[in-house]
């Protein structure tokens, strides 16, 4: 990795300052400082506009740093309280909400989703033909809530065999911020579309958690944003997590950049809602997408993950957490070498098969705007890394951040 003069200066400063860093039991402060040089270099070389990284070890935040720019073109520096679009990192939060409702007797995850959402009582599946085309057949069995939690309901993002039908219905892609309708109505229409696979047949990533968000509304008797704000965010102290940005926090939202295949950063096209800045500030504010709609900070998301790592309190019991963070796919886990998928989390059983540093028992996921997290209970480690790049062609920062975090553990 080429080293600019500014990076060389930082390395010299770090070498001097490392002598004065406090000792942290279980973690090397000097080795953690290597993260500074790495992240700063990626900013200087134009690979990322900026980022925030928070590392928590045994309940203590041992590293929390912002680098680069929240808005590179305006020269606005990234801050540790910068707010990010977390996209699919929303899924773990909404999945946890479903387990909270099970603990309150409002539902069982093994029951048919159609008990609460009638349009899912009897769904249809598009089956691709051997020579092109497809036929539509009845689902072999009802979709369960567990199918939605594990993404085994056969529901994608509208790009399966019947893609043209989904496109005509305006139901392709994970982005919901521009929709001027309640999530319950969108989910009602999704239920009438031909799905990509039979329930329980294979792992299909898609609208499952958006459907769960509507299910939370029915089971709780309130809107998804209100349930999360009252029952999860408030108890955990997550004061900067929401579906749409309060006007007073507008200047804290990071700008989204696009990375070209040539490795250059640029602002995405303004008229592309999926890849632009989105409608998180001035949008209709009616669609609460449980699958990809939330905004958050590294501090707030760490609060959630630390609660899960410690056993769930104050939002969940220890046994619910164990079920959520354990592989639930079994023989369907072929898409996850060395791991699987729980109830809203990716899981790790064999780091060797993943060729990544880590431990059995890890749970993790990320978001389309290039955010990522993982929790390693064996090492009492929680890591949240956030930047805003979509698409992020050719970036290797996730793997390198992981390697640099683990090399700092004594």
Give kind and range of the element (H or E) at residue 184. helix 183-190
CA distance 171 to 148: 18
Q: Are 143 and 112 in contact (CB under 8 A)?
A: yes
CA dist 214 and 212 (Å) reads 5
**Distances from the Cα of 174 to the Cα of 88, 191, 259, 273, angstroms:** 9, 16, 20, 11
Cβ atoms within 10 Å, residue 242: 21
Q: CB neighbours (10 Å) of residue 272?
A: 12
Roughly how many angstroms between the first and final C-alpha of the chain, as a whole number? Answer: 26
Say which of 6, 28, 88, 242 is annotated catalytic: 88
Element (H, E) at 39: helix 34-44
CA distance 233 to 93: 10
Active-site annotation holds for 88 = yes
Report yes or no: 98 and 107 within 8 Å, Cβ to Cβ.
yes
- Residue 300: name the closest of 129, 80, 111 by CA: 80
Spatial separation of the C-alpha atoms in residues 62 and 228, rounded to whole Å: 28
In residues, how long is the chain?
Answer: 410
Helices (H) and strands (E) in the chain, counts: 14, 16
Residue 134's DSSP bridge partners are: 128
Where residue 388 falls (left for φ over 0; alpha for ψ -120 to 50; beta otherwise) is beta
The whole-angstrom separation of Cα 355 and Cα 341 is 18
Active site residues: 88
């Amino acid at each position: 990795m080429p080293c600019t003069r500014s990076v060389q200066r930082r390395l010299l400063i770090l070498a001097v300052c490392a002598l004065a860093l406090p000792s942290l039991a279980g973690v090397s402060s000097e080795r953690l400082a290597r993260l500074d040089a790495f992240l700063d270099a990626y900013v200087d070389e134009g690979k990322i506009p900026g980022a925030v990284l928070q590392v928590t070890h045994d309940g203590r935040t041992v590293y929390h740093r912002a680098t680069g720019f929240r808005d590179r073109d305006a020269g606005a520096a990234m801050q540790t309280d910068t707010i990010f679009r977390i996209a699919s990192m929303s899924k773990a939060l909404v999945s946890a909400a479903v387990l909270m409702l099970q603990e309150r007797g409002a539902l069982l995850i093994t029951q048919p989703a159609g008990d609460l959402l009638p349009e899912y009582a009897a769904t249809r599946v598009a089956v691709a033909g051997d020579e092109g085309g497809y036929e539509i057949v009845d689902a072999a069995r009802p979709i369960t809530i567990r199918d939605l939690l594990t993404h085994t309901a056969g529901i994608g993002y509208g790009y399966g065999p019947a893609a043209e039908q989904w496109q005509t219905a305006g139901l392709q892609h994970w982005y919901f911020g521009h929709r001027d309708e309640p999530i319950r109505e969108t989910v009602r229409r999704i239920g009438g579309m031909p799905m990509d696979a039979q329930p329980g047949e294979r792992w299909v990533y898609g609208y499952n958690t958006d459907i769960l968000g509507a299910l939370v509304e029915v089971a709780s008797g309130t809107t998804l944003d209100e349930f999360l704000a009252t029952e999860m965010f408030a108890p955990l102290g997550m004061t900067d997590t929401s579906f749409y940005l309060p006007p007073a926090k507008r200047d804290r939202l990071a700008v989204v950049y696009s990375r070209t295949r040539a490795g250059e950063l640029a602002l995405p096209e303004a008229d592309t809602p999926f890849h632009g800045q989105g409608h998180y500030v001035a949008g209709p504010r009616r669609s609460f997408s449980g699958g990809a709609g939330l905004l958050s900070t590294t501090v707030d998301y760490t609060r959630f993950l630390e609660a899960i790592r410690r056993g769930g309190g104050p939002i969940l019991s220890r046994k619910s957490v164990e079920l959520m963070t354990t592989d639930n796919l079994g023989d369907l886990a072929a898409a996850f070498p060395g791991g699987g998928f729980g109830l809203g989390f990716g899981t790790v059983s064999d780091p060797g098969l993943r060729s990544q540093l880590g431990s059995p028992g890890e749970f993790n996921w990320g978001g389309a705007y290039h955010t990522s997290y993982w929790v390693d209970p064996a090492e009492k480690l929680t890591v949240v890394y956030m930047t805003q790049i979509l698409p992020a062609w050719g970036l290797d920062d996730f793997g390198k951040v992981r390697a640099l975090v683990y090399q700092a553990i004594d």
